[in-house]
Amino acid sequence: MGMLADFLIAELRAARATRKLNQDEFGRIANYSGSHVSAVETGGRPPTEDYVAAVDEGLQTGGIYSRLLAKVTAFDDAPVWLRPWLEYEREAVALRACNPLLIPGLLQTEAYARAVMSTGLHTTEEVERIIAGRLERQSILDRDDPPLATFVIPETVLRTGQPKMLREQLEHLLRLSERPRIFIHVVPATAGLWLGQSGPFVIASFDGSDDVAFMDDQLQGRVVTDPTQVARLNRIWEVVRAVALPRDLSRDLILKLVNEL
């Protein structure tokens, strides 16, 4: 863990200090020894899920430190090049994503994400860490004020994968598409060549500031903030969106694919 983990540790230390508890007293509340509390506060031991959950229960915080740990883990375990985008993604009021190769990460089931990652390029530990981070990122769609999220996906992607896993993924897309702020548009196979096939991209919009985009490739992604480049991506998005089916027809096509499976 890195910088954000240090922030979590500082917050746990502050929680004890504001209650005027020494480390032994704090440990008794969480059913841990004072030496364990000291080790966490000095960085000798990581703040594990069990420890943080025990602190939440002992202090009756409503789970705030457990939620913070989940976000810390997702952020600090992410590649360095992805971290700036994670901040933009969380703050965005609208997201527009085109992925001609895969179901977008924010829409993936755990089984689909595991199938994508289990290619032999990652160790088992890396796969689990990546999947945990991806599932945590999806929590932005579950907020009380989720971003307006629009996704363009080609029909060919919706037909690719092991049948049982794919059916579960498509059913997940149908459930998500019922939410008022999630729009899933499918590019039918009959569309032929279309502009979005050049590669995946996401555009994030904000209240009171310029759009920011994210481009992905085989090695790593990059954040695009140059106004000229972002404007070009916005024009590409308009063309891509025009090729895709409307929301209702896209749902009908996904349902058809589910029934075929």
**What's the pLDDT tens digit per position in 137-167?**
898 999 999 999 999 999 999 999 999 999 9
Does 132 fall in a domain?
no
Q: How many domains does the chain have?
A: 2
Q: How many CA atoms lie within 13 A of 142 on its CB side?
A: 8
pLDDT (0 to 100) of residue 191: 87
- Supply the range of the domain harboring residue 215: 80-108+137-260
How does pLDDT run across 39-70, given as a tens digit for each residue? 888 877 778 788 889 999 999 999 998 888 87
- The CATH number given to whatever domain includes residue 21 is 1.10.260.40
CA distance 144 to 229: 32
Same domain, 38 and 102: no
Q: What pLDDT shows up at residue 43?
A: 77
Residue 194 and residue 249 in one domain? yes
Claim to verify: residue 248 and residue 151 sit in the same structural domain: yes
pLDDT of residue 119: 72
Q: Are residues 70 and 87 in the same domain?
A: no
Q: Taking a C-beta distance cutoff of 8 angstroms, is the pair 97, 24 a contact?
A: no
Question: Which residues make beta-bridge pairs with 186?
Answer: 153
Same domain for 196 and 90: yes
- Count of beta carbons in the 10 Å neighbourhood of residue 8: 21
CATH of the domain at 254: 3.30.870.10
